Amino acid sequence: MEGISCLKARDGKDIFAHGGTGFARALIAAKLIDEYRLVSHPVAIGHGLATFSGIARDHNLELLDSKTFPKGAVVNIYRPMKE
Q: Which pLDDT score, from 0 to 100, does residue 64 have?
A: 97
DSSP bridge partners of 27:
none
Cα atoms found within 13 Å of the Cα of residue 26, Cβ hemisphere only: 12
Exposure class string for 40-61: b at 16+ Cβ within 10 A, else e: eeeeeeeeeeeeeeeeeeeeee
Checking if the pLDDT of 75 tops 80, the result is yes
- Please tell me the pTM assigned to this model: 0.74
Instruction: Report the pLDDT averaged over residues 12-24.
Output: 82
The mean of the pLDDT values for the chain is 85
Domain 2-80 sits in CATH 3.40.430.10: yes
**pLDDT tens digit sequence for 37-69:** 988 888 887 777 777 777 777 778 999 999 999
Angle at 40 between CA 80 and CA 19, to 5 degrees: 65
